[in-house]
Amino acid sequence: MNQSSIDPVWATITQHIRATGLVSKIAVLDGNELLRMWQLSPDGTRTQLEIVPTTTPDEAEFRLLLSPWLMSVPYEDGPDVREVSTLSVARAQATDAATAGNVNLILQTTGTDEDTSELIEPSVPETVTAPQALDDEPEDDLFEELADGDTGPSEAQRKFRRRAILGGSALGLFLLGSVSAAGWALFNAPGTSPESTPEAAATSSAPSATPEPSESATALVSQALPPAGFSGTPSWEVVGATDQSSGMTWNGAHVGAVSGRALDVVETDSGEIAESVTLPTPPTTGPAPLRDGDDGGMLLATDDRVMTWSQEHGLVDSEIGEDDRLVLRGTTAFTVPQNDDVRPDALQLVTTDGFHEIVSPDSSAAPIGPTRNGGFLWATNDEGGTLLLANEDGEEESSTRLIGPSENTTISQWLGASEDYAAAIWANDGSGSVIAVHDAETGKIVDTYEMGTTGAGAGMRIVPSTDGQQLVAGSTLIDLDTGKIEGSVSAGSSTTQTVETVPGGWTSTASDGTQTLIGPDGESLESPETTESLLGLTESGEIVVDHRGAIAAFTPATEGESQ
């Protein structure tokens, strides 16, 4: 039952208790964490019960869910509102801000079942054992990445305690962050430059403050849950500015977590924060895996710009031309002219080092994607259907005419191609539609799959794998590395589920938010909760998840291991 304030919730529970005459317990939860336990009597008396390690929410007749939360920071030109998933995440972000500005923050929770306040103090790196250890490093070095005169708060401002006010949002309440107008703000204000914001300082890895990047990763009481078949204890878990979106790099070596303009990059083999950067603008797309060479990276985008991050090049920002638009196909991204749907004279391929122009070999050709040997594949319906391989300058290197499954059939939809095989839907007014896989050198059919009624496949969702060697076309799995149609997968219909490419396969998201990871072999793995995202698999076989801002990795369970 969603409510805009806490009073109607207590009133409804009290009304039920009066009707039954039974004393009842109410469990107050924040995510999976049990915060408090109340006992409510028919006369309206409410008593807080002691919580011991063995206390569980199952003991209560009612559950009061306080998360997720909304954080609204007031500014002169209006509030800056963002969502945080749990109080643990809110505390972690407040601790980062307190540490970056060397200020004390008072975190005050209001409007929930119990109003509380707590002091958030700057964290001290474990390697600092005595005050004199800082004498070798000037304090200004903490803010060496800040630009043009805004060097942070004065000494007097650093000693000033600021107050952050919190309230629950699952009940329709609000999380409010209130700070002094002078000196530092808790979060990034609209209109300020990325380099001069406290958000940039809160997420930067200043050497004098954090000798090791991993020390900025705040430990979290485990919120993430392992999917079936994985160990119940995460191999690592971090929390930070991770509540808005997250995703992995193409090779699964890093996780990117975004909150506002802050991007935290976590190494998946250790859980250490490899880099924290401030983006030029909050992304509307991504982080998503970006295929580029052997390592690749991640892509973040808006309507007018593309941002990429890779271990080799770091953050690269590129503006999309006013007359262009971005096209995403699996882990390949490129821009084409707005008025040219599928047959551009040239496109701008997105790489981890910026845009790279690819010229079309034919005015009727539509782009498919890059090959492993540095070429680019194109499709055209000339001669009934032709696969073209060209270099970046548009010089044709090979041309293969595809041979249809029967006479009077035509290609109704191209699905994808690799250097070895091409897949398309062929249709005939009398015989219906069929998926055919062709040899890319001879054009001959090597495998088929009957689709039935003519017109089948219209509006079909086509999602390539991270390396482009496999396709999920609707619910059909096609292997362009072996030339085989592997059968159906549990991807659901195009109207009820969305499918995205992740390292190790694809994720299919149902309308209720439940995600399923589909592996290259077609096997499925379901998320344990609707609030947990499956980000993909690492090369070592660990699964990386994001549960309400808690990024964690789980190893496959050993035989007989409890989960």
Task: List the chain pLDDT tens, one digit each, 563 residues.
Answer: 666 677 778 888 888 888 888 888 999 888 778 888 999 888 878 889 988 888 888 888 888 887 677 666 545 566 666 677 777 777 777 777 677 667 777 777 777 788 777 887 877 654 433 333 333 333 333 222 223 333 333 333 222 333 334 444 333 222 223 332 222 233 333 333 333 333 333 333 333 333 333 334 443 345 788 899 898 889 998 865 455 689 999 999 999 988 878 888 999 999 988 888 888 888 888 899 998 877 789 999 998 999 999 999 999 999 998 888 898 888 999 988 877 566 788 889 999 999 999 999 988 888 888 888 788 999 988 888 899 999 999 899 999 999 988 877 888 888 999 999 999 998 876 567 889 999 999 999 999 988 866 445 555 788 898 888 999 888 889 999 999 998 888 764 444 568 889 999 999 888 788 889 998 888 889 999 888 899 999 999 999 998 877 889 999 988 666 55
End-to-end, the C-alpha distance of the chain in Å comes to 31
Q: Which two tokens stand for residue 88?
A: 């643990």
**Whole-number Å distance between alpha carbons of 195 and 148:** 9
* Residues 6 or more apart in contact with residue 269 via CB below 8 angstroms: 253, 538, 540
CB 246 within 8 A of CB 256: yes
Tokens of 71: 């954080």
What pLDDT sits at residue 245? 84
For 80, residues 6+ apart whose C-beta sits below 8 A from its C-beta are 72, 73, 187, 188, 189, 190
Sequence-separated (6 or more) residues with CB below 8 Å from residue 420: 439, 440, 441, 480, 481, 483
| Whether the predicted model's global pTM rises above the 0.75 cut | no
* Placement of tokens 């991007």 in the chain: 263
